[in-house]
Structure 1
Amino acid sequence: MALSSSTTGKLETLEEVVEIKSSADKLYAIITTEHHNVPKASSDHIHDVAVHEGDWETSGSIKLWKYTVDGTVETLKEKVEIDEANKRVSFTALEGHVLEQYKNYNSIIQVTPKSDEGSNLVKITVEYEKLNEGDQPPNKYLRFLVNVMKDIDAHLIAS
């Protein structure tokens, strides 16, 4: 696991890479087209997800999430963009608790299948713009996403 952060103008980023033991293809399917399975795989963190516009599988669809982060129940309306060629999915916050703290918030999850001697990897990137210069970076949301990926990984291994 590696954690890094950087600043580019007003848009800042946090990143972490997580090694997974399950199938990269199966994990990628859950985070792109099978969001309805996430509450089952990560019930301590994700309570519900529903389609607001579009469907479960189409890039550009909008989902409504209910989840708990650091003991607080929050909601998020986000737009999903799928980059099949790079096994990457981006979630752009449209409404919700996270936007009470950040002007812009995007999470990007990229799955890299293992090479001959390597492991399957999930790279989680959080891009954000602070509302106020003194605001803290969204470390709790990065930790939350790492935990959800680990939950999905464990769920896939147990299945």
Structure 2
Amino acid sequence: MSSKLEKLETDVEINVSPVKFHEYFTRRPHHISNVSPGKIQGCDLHEGDWGTVGSIIYWNYFHDGKAKVAKQLIEAIDDETNSITLKVIEGDLLEEYKSFKCIIQASPKGEGSTVHWTFEYEKLHNQVSDPQTLLQLVADLCKDIGDHLVTQA
């Protein structure tokens, strides 16, 4: 059985500039657990430097009622378009997916921005469901980060 690459996307509107969100998510993700401790318990740097392509980040997060982990490689960062691409290389997601990639891009929208999340993934088998609940988790997380950054202005 050949698996195919699938895609799931969502947009989240926040009241913070795209640059500010991108800077925070890309270069200071280890602060996210302070902003949203119910969703993210920790974010550690395993290799490289924060905000650097090729670096490896290790997330402890809470999803679907369970504590989970994900190790991600920063594949790409584009400060011009405020985007970052993260590829999952270890963790709970790889129990259901052959590959899993997140692309996060913040674009200007009025006084704030729209954060566009794209999940690209290959399921291990047809019984695996689409990662809708994970997409909802990151959308809610975005709002938490946006609310936090507004108070930091």
TM-score w.r.t. length of structure 2: 0.91
**Partner-residue secondary structure (3-state), 1:135:** coil
What is the percentage of aligned positions where both structures have the same residue?
37
Number of aligned positions between the proteins: 149
The answer to whether 1:69 aligns with 2:63 is: yes
Instruction: Name the amino acid aligned to 1:141.
Output: L
C-alpha distance in 2 between matches for 1:134 and 1:38: 32
Give the residue type in structure 1 aligned to 2:146: D
- Counterpart amino acid of 2:69? T
User: Corresponding residue for 1:27?
Assistant: 21
* Secondary structure, aligned partner of 2:80: helix
Residues 1:127 and 2:124 are matched in the alignment: no
Q: What RMSD over aligned residues (CA atoms) do the two structures have, in Å?
A: 1.4
Aligned to 1:96: 91
The superposition leaves residues 43-74 of structure 1 with CA deviations (integer Å, 9 ceiling, x where unpaired) of 11011111111011211100111010121100
**Alignment match, 2:46:** 52
Note if contact 2:16-2:111 (Cα within 8 Å) is conserved in structure 1. no
Query: How much has 1:141 moved relative to structure 2?
Result: 1.2
Structure with more contact order per residue of length (Cα contacts < 8 Å, sep ≥ 6): 2
Residue aligned with 1:56, SS = coil
**Is the counterpart of residue 144 in structure 1 residue 137 in structure 2?**
yes
Farther-moved stretch of structure 1 (68-77 vs 18-27): 18-27
Unaligned residue ranges in structure 2 (runs of 5+) = none
Q: TM-score, normalised by structure 1?
A: 0.88
Q: Distance in 1 between matches of 2:37 and 2:55?
A: 23
Is 1:83–2:78 an aligned residue pair? Answer: yes
Match of 1:106 in 2: 101
Residue 46 of structure 2 aligns to a residue in which SS? strand
The 3-state SS of whatever aligns with 1:85 is coil
Deviations 1:19-47 (A, max 9, x none): 11122221111111111211112111011
Distance 1:145 1:111, change over 3 A: same
Q: What is the CA distance between 1:136 and its match in structure 2?
A: 0.7
Amino acid at match of 1:93: V
Q: Which runs of 5+ in 1 are unaligned?
A: 1-8
Q: Structure 1: how far apart are the matches of 2:32 and 2:85?
A: 16
Code of the aligned partner of 1:104: S
> Which stretch of the first structure deviates more once superposed, 81-90 or 68-77?
81-90
Deviations 1:76-113 (A, max 9, x none): 11011212222111110000001001111111110002
In the TM superposition, structure 1's runs of 4+ consecutive aligned residues that sit over 2 Å from their partners are none
